[in-house]
């Protein structure tokens, strides 16, 4: 309860939170354990994060679970991560459904084995009408690949005469990248101490507030989430305007 009082009000709560869950390997190494032990602990932290978002009333949560570049890790780590991914899907989806969570996956799904793809599809089907929290899991996802695929589809549309090349603007690209139907992330959290985007949502993060913590992902808890939300609540988002302009608009809106 003690974190509760520091939590910002609904108006300063991010609608969409995007998270790079980093630091599993180092968490395990510090304990003298194999990296996989860290990934398993990381899966538990995912549940804590989802719980926190449900409690706070955050509407959209996007988690970076596996990047396009992570396929290049040693085969035994990739294989073990795939097994963990499959067992998490088998174990967690019913409970997420019961709690009103809608689950979607973004990324290159074709690279996963059929058993995982089927589980992804059935999770999306089962939870498709839920409205309490939308959970997007970025798996085999890369921000550049996302933009390239939007460009490819627009080029095909132009060739087929469905769109004029002059009509390809930011709005058109925005309609073709992942998460197009959702508000852009308001807040980005990266655990694990690195201050970089690592090819996460490049297009969608243009005006997202960034928040970094040294906390390793398996240690992520509601207090860490509360710290990030409190910091977010204190920020002024200016979108290129002056602070005075933003203040004036805020005053008009609250009048
Ligand atoms: C993040 O933790 C999980 C994945 C990328 C799958 P890491 O495995 O990158 O952990 P560190 O960065 O090596 O500690
Ligand atoms: C980013 O973490 C990807 C995920 C958390 C899924 P990485 O550990 O792959 O990023 P780098 O290699 O440190 O940039
Ligand atoms: Mg890492």
Low-confidence ranges of the chain (pLDDT < 70): 1-11
Find the helix packing angle between 35-56 and 222-234, rounded to 10°: 50
9's CB contacts (< 8 A; 6+ apart) are 233
CA of 206 to the centre of ligand 1 (A): 24
Relative to beta strand 16-20, strand 187-190 is parallel
- pLDDT of amino acid 164: 98
What is the distance between the terminal CA atoms of the chain, rounded to a whole angstrom?
33
Cα–Cα distance measured from residue 200 to residue 93, given in angstroms and rounded to the nearest whole number: 24
Cβ–Cβ < 8 Å for 112, 139: yes
For 166-208, write each residue's pLDDT tens digit: 999 999 999 999 999 999 999 999 999 999 999 999 999 999 9
Can you tell me which atom of ligand 2 is nearest the CA of 65?
6
Is the shortest distance between the CB of 199 and ligand 2 below 6 Å? no
Alpha helix (H) residue ranges in the chain? 24-30, 35-56, 75-98, 114-127, 143-159, 170-176, 222-234, 243-254
Cα–Cα distance measured from residue 33 to residue 113, given in angstroms and rounded to the nearest whole number: 28
For 41-52, write each residue's pLDDT tens digit: 999 999 999 999
- pLDDT of amino acid 254: 85
Please name which of 188, 170, 189 lies closest in space to residue 180, comparing C-alpha atoms. Answer: 170
- pLDDT of amino acid 31: 98
Catalytic center residues: 22, 70
Is the shortest distance between the CB of 22 and ligand 1 below 6 Å? yes
Cα–Cα distance measured from residue 228 to residue 210, given in angstroms and rounded to the nearest whole number: 9
- pLDDT of amino acid 123: 98
Q: Model's pTM, two decimal places?
A: 0.95
User: Residues with Cβ within 5 Å of ion ligand 3?
Assistant: 22
Is the shortest distance between the CB of 41 and ligand 2 below 6 Å? no
Task: Identify which of 189, 191, 198 to mutate to test ligand 2's pocket (most ligand atoms within 8 A of the CB).
Answer: 198
């Amino acid at each position: 309860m003690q974190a509760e009082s520091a939590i910002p009000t609904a108006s300063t709560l991010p609608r969409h939170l995007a998270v790079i869950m980093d630091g599993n390997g180092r968490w395990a190494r510090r304990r003298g354990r194999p990296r996989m032990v860290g990934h398993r602990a990381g899966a538990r932290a995912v549940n804590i994060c989802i719980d926190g978002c449900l409690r706070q009333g955050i509407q959209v949560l996007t988690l970076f679970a596996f990047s396009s570049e992570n396929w290049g890790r040693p085969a035994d780590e990739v294989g073990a991560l795939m097994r963990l991914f499959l067992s998490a899907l088998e174990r967690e989806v019913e409970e997420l459904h019961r709690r009103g969570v809608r689950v979607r996956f973004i990324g290159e799904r074709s690279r996963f084995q059929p058993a995982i793809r089927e589980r992804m599809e059935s999770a999306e089907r089962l939870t498709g009408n839920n409205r309490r929290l939308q959970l997007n899991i970025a798996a085999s996802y890369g921000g550049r690949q996302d933009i390239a695929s939007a460009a490819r589809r627009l080029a095909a549309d132009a060739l087929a005469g469905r769109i004029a090349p002059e009509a390809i603007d930011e709005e058109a690209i925005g309609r073709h990248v992942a998460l197009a139907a959702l508000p852009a992330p308001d807040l980005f959290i990266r655990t694990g101490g690195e201050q970089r985007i690592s090819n996460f949502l490049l297009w969608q993060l243009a005006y997202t507030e960034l928040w970094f913590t040294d906390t390793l992902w398996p240690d992520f808890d509601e207090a860490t989430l509360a710290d990030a939300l409190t910091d977010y609540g204190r920020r002024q988002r200016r979108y290129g305007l002056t602070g005075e302009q933003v203040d004036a608009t805020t005053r008009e809106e609250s009048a």
